[in-house]
Structure 1
Amino acid sequence: MKTNCNKLLIALVLVIPIFTAPPKSSIKWVEPKQGIKLFRLPRADSQIIATVPYQAQIQILFRNDEMVEIQKRRGHWAVIKWHDFVGWTFDEDLVWGSYIDTKTVEIKELIWQRCSVGQAPDEYCTGQASGISLEFEASDFKGEKLIKGPFIEACEALNKQSFAGRKNWRLPTALELKTLVRCTAGPQTLLKNFKQCNKGSVYPTIDATIFPNTSPNMYVTSDRSPAPYRDTVFSVHFEVGSTASSYSNYAMLGLVRCVSEK
């Protein structure tokens, strides 16, 4: 009877989400660029629960003592937690934060600044994002694009320092930036402008395991707003997931996450 109870307790530990802050010793990151599979059982032919993306931060809940060999690599099967998913994976695909590129994230042919402008480019994106006054001049625009001003300069500063070895950093377009929105309560499709994530979505509405410490506020894009808000730009508001016109107001602040092409 005691043995059965112990087994039940172990099973509960593996499936019940942990709500307290996990110890840093249990936190690792996904190393393979293709991501990793999360299995229901510790077997490569088991049912796949989810695919965890490259550079995602995960928590190790349990690790088998038995050493196994998979594709000529020796390691252990481990139970990990990623968002609300809990399952088995091969621990040789997981690394400490010091072994990942903490400066950039590659998603669909674009290279994103992993941490917001103003934050330290470390594993946890330490610090606060730098807020810039949402005040624009007519001369800051050329047609439908923002071409001058402090938001543009924030990305140009990365070019001057060859941040992450790149010199083509720029402010993202509205379409590019909204692809980072993650609505946990739906919809799963790309949101149209001015539309929000469904009620109950976790905020900030972004994958925080890839972009940690993201502020649930407005991130500015290079796209000029349509009439009657021509004196401002589209911003993505990561509290609700919407892409909408920012109010031109020196007292309001916008944030920056720069992007570059491969």
Structure 2
Amino acid sequence: MTTETTTAGIATGSRAPVAIVTGGSRGIGRNTVLSLARRGVDSIFTYHANRAEAAQVSAAAEALGRKAIALQLDAGDSGSFDRFVQEVGQALAGLGATRFDYLVNNAGTSLHNAFAQTTEDEVDSIYRIHFKGVFFLTQKLLPLINDGGRIVNISSGLTRVAFPGVAAYAAMKGAVEVLTRCMAKELGPRGIAVNTVAPGAIATDFSGGMVRDNPEMNKRVADITALGRVGEADDVGPMIAALLSGDNRWVNAQRIEVSGGMAI
């Protein structure tokens, strides 16, 4: 068997590198899967409920000459992670692999509520998805990620700039940023780099399409952004794919904001 090297410098034999992208059926996650496909990377990506939407992503990746296998996952249900890891093993076998190379912890939901009105149930829900889920899913997947691999945790521009109504969400993303640095330190002996990507306001269906579909909100964001518009998923997915590449192999434990210069 010949030995090839991925863009991250990982020996993979004759197969393509493999990424796992949570929340890969829509928005930034979908764009990341397809951006990776354009770089020759196969993916295993998760969706929460919409199987038809996930199938469209798989078909789009196939049209780009790569494979993208969809697996159902509730990122807030840590009790399901052992089952999911078993399914990942089966999916890897279908890709001719036993391990994967890149992990993008992207899955998430929004929460908009004033601090004084936010309930304990709301905080618990956002915690399970955005922090506990990232922590334990990554932990469960560690035996399957190649040494020299790369992990990207998705955060938010809201950890840098405070707006009303996002206290719980922003706090959990802040926790993910601290977690990222700790992971980079502990996984460094395996050559695994861990970084945070923090998108600004992006015109997707996230938060019910609040930025995409509300002209007033869209203009408000554009007015405080140096490049004069709101972000698109296509502004973020290619950046994540590039960060995973060998060109950025010495970038580690960093928070990289992708916001077009929002609120600077």
Q: Give the TM bin, normalised by the shorter chain.
A: under 0.3
Q: TM-score, normalised by structure 1?
A: 0.25
Q: TM-score, normalised by structure 2?
A: 0.25
Higher relative contact order (CA 8 A, sep 6+): 2
Higher strand share: 1
Higher helix share: 2
Larger Rg: 1
